[in-house]
Structure 1
Amino acid sequence: MRILLVCNAGMSTSMLVSRMQKAAEQRGMNIEIMAVPIMQAETILKEWDIVMLGPQVRHQLQYLQNKAEGQVPVCIIEMRDYGMMNGDKVLDAALKVIG
């Protein structure tokens, strides 16, 4: 499974990436998680299983959904979970969307 996190510069989500990876490892899951800035995301998003936007770029949701052309789910990370850098909950949200 591959999870792409998107933020303004790709930096604010790096801590969340490591916390999500730790949560996945604790569950025995092999998941690739990467954080990128919005401009990079639009060119690679179809290569991922899910694209999750940080709350600071939620206004780009429709734009990235259009770029995904229905091939990849694009959603917004819950603001509370993002603010608390709750890797477990963000991972759960991704798994729920992917099914």
Structure 2
Amino acid sequence: MKTIVLVCTAGMSTSLLVAKMKEIAAQAELDIKLEALAQSELKNYPKKIDLILLGPQVKYLLNNLKRDYKNSNIQVEVIDSLQYGSLDGKAVLNQALSLLGKKVI
């Protein structure tokens, strides 16, 4: 099982996107775990993470997080602002799957 964490300022807007992504992942019977976190919660997240997707409003964290996780297998990327703003769960899920080397749906 792969764990994908979406991060934004307070975890609110990513929660909406994660809910849509979970619906699509369930329909496709994907074995993934999706979480939404506030940026302040990320450093204390106790579980294994495979991919961190940043909301466009916190893209300034990208370089620091890539540096922080460079010695791990955790990938860090930014969600496309158009897909994020339109809450396009399928497109963001496909971005995540592609980054993890999985077949997109």
Shared fold, TM over 0.5: yes
In the TM superposition, what is the alpha-carbon distance from 1:5 to its structure 2 partner? 0.4
Q: Distance in 2 between matches of 1:30 and 1:80?
A: 26
Please report the RMSD computed on the Cα atoms of aligned residues, expressed in angstroms: 1.5
Return the alpha-carbon distance in structure 1 between the equivalents of residues 100 and 71 of structure 2: 13
Listed as ranges, the gaps of 5+ residues in structure 2 are: none
Aligned length: 99
Whether 2:27 is the aligned partner of 1:26: answer: yes
Secondary structure at 1:44 match in 2: coil
TM-score (normalizing by structure 2) = 0.87
| Bigger mean CA offset, 60-69 vs 80-89 | 60-69
Conserved 8 A contact 1:4-1:45: no
Identity %: 36
Show structure 1 runs of 5+ residues with no match: none
Match of 2:17 in 1: 16
TM-score between both structures, scaled by the size of structure 1 = 0.92
What's 1:62 paired with? 63
